[in-house]
């Protein structure tokens, strides 16, 4: 069994909670409160800066030029493609990029990124890839599933988000990371598999908490 197949089996129950989450279902049927989406976009924008730093660890720790290129391409995709979705929404909502930098990261946000950065600082390329993959892969699945409903994909507000993550560019970037994970673990021991699986599961749990945070919305005392 490939590493990605094994990891998916380990998180299926967690990921089902994403697909049935009121925030994600609200994007799908168009009922999500825009204020909740606004808070999510602000927090996710801050998250992406730290997420890109995790990939940067991969560039510095890889000793194979091809692997370095995978991480480098992913950084470019985050900063220039994924963030463009956020910037487009911020323009629609009336948020300037300079305003985002004054937003305080939520505790769940900081906890998640701190965990990934700690894994990346202490771990090897395999560990870094496992930490990265939970976010990328789950968003690819969420986008793909939501886009199966044409009304959701064409929604006048949420459709752009859905099509962005269901689109070829993001799906291709995620497939590249999955292939890298399987390549890196071809000769891994059972002990190594378990360590990587734990990282993947932990990051999947953090993803669920991020969705819960987004659904709860911005705290009144923030």
Question: What's the rounded Cα separation, in Å, for the pair 12 and 176?
Answer: 21
The C-alpha atoms of residue 199 and residue 125 are separated, in whole angstroms, by: 13
Residue recorded with tokens 């380990």: 10
What six digits make up the tokens of 111?
């906890």
Let me know if 130 is exposed, middle or buried by CB neighbors in 10 A (0-12, 13-18, 19+).
buried
The single residue listed with the structure tokens 């168009």 is: 30
Please tell me the distance from the alpha carbon of residue 91 to that of residue 87, in angstroms, as a whole number. Answer: 6
Q: Name, in order, each residue with C-beta under 8 angstroms of 161's C-beta and a sequence gap of 6 or more.
A: 27, 85, 89
Report the catalytic residues.
135, 207
Contacts of 105 (CB under 8 A, 6+ apart): 43, 46, 47, 113
Question: In angstroms, rounded to a whole number, what is the distance separating the alpha carbons of residues 189 and 3?
Answer: 11
Contact 130, 199 (CB under 8 A): yes
DSSP 79: I
């Amino acid at each position: 069994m490939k590493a990605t197949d094994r990891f998916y089996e380990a998180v299926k129950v967690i990921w089902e909670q994403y697909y049935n989450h009121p925030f994600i279902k609200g994007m799908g049927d168009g009922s999500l409160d825009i204020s909740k989406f606004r808070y999510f976009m602000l927090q996710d924008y801050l998250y992406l800066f730290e997420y890109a730093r995790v990939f940067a660890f991969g560039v510095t720790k890889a000793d194979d030029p091809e692997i370095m290129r995978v991480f480098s391409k992913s950084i470019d995709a985050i900063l220039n493609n994924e963030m463009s979705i956020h910037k487009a929404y911020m323009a629609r909502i009336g948020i300037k990029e300079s305003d985002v930098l004054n937003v305080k990261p939520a505790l769940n946000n900081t906890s998640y990124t701190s965990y990934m950065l700690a894994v990346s600082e202490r771990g090897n390329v395999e560990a870094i890839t496992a930490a990265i993959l939970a976010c990328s892969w789950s968003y690819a699945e969420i986008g793909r599933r939501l886009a199966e409903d044409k009304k959701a994909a064409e929604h006048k507000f949420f459709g752009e988000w859905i099509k962005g993550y269901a689109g070829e560019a993001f799906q291709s970037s995620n497939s590249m990371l999955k292939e890298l994970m399987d390549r890196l673990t071809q000769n891994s021991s059972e002990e190594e598999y378990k360590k990587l699986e734990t990282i993947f599961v932990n990051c999947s749990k953090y993803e669920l908490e991020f969705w819960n945070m987004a659904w709860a919305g911005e705290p009144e005392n923030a």
